[in-house]
Structure 1
Amino acid sequence: MRAVRAVLGLVVIGAAGMGGLWLTERLLAASEPVPVAQGAAAPLRVETIVPPLVTFADAVTAVGTARARQAVDLLAESGGRVTRIAFEPGDRVEAGAVLLELDDRAEQADLKAADATLAEAQAAFDRQQSLNRSGSASDAAYQTARAALLRAEAERDRAGVVLEDRSLRAPFAGIIGLTDLVEGQVIDTATPIATLDDLSVIAVDFSVPETLLPRLERGQRVDLASAAWPGRTFRGAISRIDSRVDAATRSLALRAEIPNNDRALAGGMFLQVRLVLDERQRPAVPENALTVEGDRTLVMVADGGTARPVEIVTGQQQDGLVEVVSGLAPSARVIVTNLHRLSDGTPIEAVAPERRVEAAAPSGGGG
């Protein structure tokens, strides 16, 4: 029995070995590549663009404070009782307009007395002048009459100035501010009456680093933004450049002026300032069209029916576009899609970008 069992074991082992050899051959045969027919690969469909010319600017930002081109706190030249307030807060007044009148009865009387004295002095001078010409009066009497006339004219002029000081006039055209005065109130020369601002032009003072001095000149464009007017840009120009650099901050003070015909800006407002130092037009490519390899920046361009990498020098970024300083031919067509599937020499079929129209949001009333 032991012999039979040994024989059967040998038979089983031999059968397993033969089966293993057969299975191995089948697996090796299945792993070998099956030759396929060689043919031209289908070109890859890509979208290309001609880089548009975009305006780029070298600019510096700062913060500034707005003020009226002309602004003054109005004060009376003399004290007294207010008889007339000739303005309403917020009124626009012209230069020379009467704003306030004080009780001037005493000054009117002084002016009349000065006029009478002047008339007497004039008559006396005329009489002495006639006598002097005929030789009937001395030169001393003539000179005395002339001096009296000059003093009378001076007193008349003084009385006229004092009377004029009983009324307040606008020194320039502008907008009147708030006032707390009432008619009948007694004021002195230190009593604030109102403010007057010429808001037709707004001046904005700001500072920039001293290193920019060689690039500054009058007339350079300034763009300003205010939190009070989101999305609106106010455009002006540099009108003044300070002659000294601040030794503490190493900065240079500038002043810009902005037309303000609609009175959108007011004195004291905080403004964001963008001073444009230089503008230029350069080709620009979308940011997603760039590939960075170490210190090299590449774009893929369509060269006939193949893709070719081109090294470029880039500049500023603006609204998703990157400035191309050099390296790109004006007629080059830059590939903007399927970039991850491209390499040097990949066959391509270049097409214009498809227009993608976003669906407009439905309009409707708010709940």
Structure 2
Amino acid sequence: MRAVKAVLGLVAILAAGAGGLYLTERLLAASEPAAETAGADSAPLRVETITPETVTFADAVTAVGTARARQAVDLLPESSGRIARIAFQPGDRVEAGAVLVELDSRAEQADLKAAQATLAEAEAAFGRQESLNRSGSASDAAFQTARAALLRAEAERDRAEVALEDRSLRAPFAGIIGLTDLVEGQVIDTATPIATLDDLSVIEVDFSVPETLLPRLARGQRVELTSAAWPGRVFGGGISRIDSRVDAGTRSLALRAEIPNDDRALAGGMFLQVRLVLDEQRRLAIPENAQTVEGDRVLVMLAEGNTARQAEIVTGQQQDGLVEVVSGLSPSSRIIVTNLHRLSEGSTIEPVARERRVEAAPVPATAPAPAEGGG
């Protein structure tokens, strides 16, 4: 019995020794990768760095506006009658004083000839009386009567000339003539609309801004406008008029801007998005993904030699993927933009300057794409 117990004890001792040897080999094998990982972590981390850009940031306010031609008028005839000639085509550009419509003027021409004949008789009679008056052969009363007759004849001639001129409708200013439904031979009166005339060389845009901006407004301030009719295009102009009163209902102030329109891209009545630039400043800017927000703090990682350092900055506006840096950075700061999740204060790094990306020039389109929904 004692021999059996001795054998069992010896077996247990041998099993324990074999198990301990096995576990020791496993622990030694596991420690080698850990050591290799620790060595890898201690190697410098390769990161890309950039310097801040200098970008123009604008303090601006947006509004909606309505376009109007600088000069616009609904053309109406000065007299009634039958249309003898329509001298324009809708969409034509006409000069100031150009004849647009002529009415039948035969009666007015006859009246003018009669008035001219009466004037000629009055001038002859006045000439005779003037000669007799100088020689003392005629009374002053007869001379004054002849002179009055001459003045009446001149007035009748002038009235006849005006009546004849009123048979022609002329353009009051240079511009683009609109559509018309009139035809030659049609009888019209002074209330019949002929067409519209718009001076589209300059477009005016009316819009409103809050009254709180009044101290910051001035004539000439830059305005940028966009239209759904011209995607991607920005029209530039400036403030030309500032209203003298604030609207009591909306507490807003009406403004008017002028925009050059040499290519007639804009038309009266168009809806426009307006951006009024109040102030512009050149500031340092960094990419949005280079910053880290912790509560009310904005942080960036800087490369100082081969060490990562954390810096707190004050930011402002955002524009085209960039963030304005009000304070906290210098133009020569090297900002880390990659591997930020693996960095901490004091990390050893291998900084590499990021190459500037050059965007390819856009290929010009062969024809403009039609606007959705017909504009």
1:75-86 equivalence runs, <5 A: 75-86=76-87
Report SS of the residue matched to 2:194: strand
- 1:63 aligns with 64
- Mark the runs of 5 or more structure 2 residues left unpaired by the alignment: 362-375
Task: State the TM-score, normalized to the length of structure 1.
Answer: 0.87
Give the deviation of 1:139 after TM superposition: 3.1
Counterparts of 1:356 and 1:245 in 2: how far apart (Å)?
Answer: 49
- 1:46 aligns with 47
Counterparts of 1:79 and 1:99 in 2: how far apart (Å)?
Answer: 15
Counterparts of 1:262 and 1:355 in 2: how far apart (Å)?
Answer: 37
Give the deviation of 1:11 after TM superposition: 9.0
Moved over 4 A (4+): 6-40, 354-360
Counterparts of 1:251 and 1:10 in 2: how far apart (Å)?
Answer: 106
Aligned residue pairs: how many?
Answer: 357
Report SS of the residue matched to 1:192: coil
CA shift digits 1:300-333 (9 cap, x unpaired): 1121221111111101111111001111112111
Report SS of the residue matched to 2:212: helix
CA shift digits 1:245-279 (9 cap, x unpaired): 11111111111111111111111111111111111
Counterparts of 1:20 and 1:177 in 2: how far apart (Å)?
Answer: 108
Q: Which amino acid in 2 is paired with 1:71?
A: A
Counterparts of 1:100 and 1:295 in 2: how far apart (Å)?
Answer: 72
Counterparts of 1:271 and 1:356 in 2: how far apart (Å)?
Answer: 34
- 2:331 aligns with 330
- Mark the runs of 5 or more structure 1 residues left unpaired by the alignment: 361-367
- 2:367 aligns with none
- 1:286 aligns with 287
Counterparts of 2:9 and 2:313 in 1: how far apart (Å)?
Answer: 71
1:195-234 equivalence runs, <5 A: 195-234=196-235
Counterparts of 2:295 and 2:44 in 1: how far apart (Å)?
Answer: 29
Counterparts of 1:110 and 1:219 in 2: how far apart (Å)?
Answer: 54
Counterparts of 1:119 and 1:359 in 2: how far apart (Å)?
Answer: 82
Two-structure CA RMSD over aligned residues (Å): 3.1
Counterparts of 1:359 and 1:63 in 2: how far apart (Å)?
Answer: 34
- 2:366 aligns with none
Counterparts of 1:115 and 1:305 in 2: how far apart (Å)?
Answer: 104
Q: Decide whether aligned partners of structure 1 residues 359 and 130 sit closer, same or farther in structure 2, where only a CA change above 3 A counts.
A: closer
- 1:255 aligns with 256
Give the deviation of 1:21 after TM superposition: 10
Q: Decide whether aligned partners of structure 1 residues 14 and 135 sit closer, same or farther in structure 2, where only a CA change above 3 A counts.
A: farther
Counterparts of 1:212 and 1:222 in 2: how far apart (Å)?
Answer: 15
- 2:121 aligns with 120
Counterparts of 2:191 and 2:360 in 1: how far apart (Å)?
Answer: 66
- 2:138 aligns with 137
- 1:313 aligns with 314
CA shift digits 1:156-210 (9 cap, x unpaired): 1111111100010001111111111111111111111111111111111111111
- 2:175 aligns with 174
Give the deviation of 1:282 after TM superposition: 0.8
Q: Which amino acid in 1 is paired with 2:344?
A: S
- 2:101 aligns with 100
- 2:162 aligns with 161
CA shift digits 1:201-225 (9 cap, x unpaired): 1111111111111111111111111
Counterparts of 1:123 and 1:253 in 2: how far apart (Å)?
Answer: 63
1:23-38 equivalence runs, <5 A: 30=27
Q: Decide whether aligned partners of structure 1 residues 353 and 141 sit closer, same or farther in structure 2, where only a CA change above 3 A counts.
A: same
Q: Decide whether aligned partners of structure 1 residues 17 and 260 sit closer, same or farther in structure 2, where only a CA change above 3 A counts.
A: same
Task: State the TM-score, normalized to the length of structure 2.
Answer: 0.85
Counterparts of 1:194 and 1:209 in 2: how far apart (Å)?
Answer: 38
Q: Which amino acid in 2 is paired with 1:207?
A: S
**Identical aligned residues as a percent:** 78
- 1:152 aligns with 153
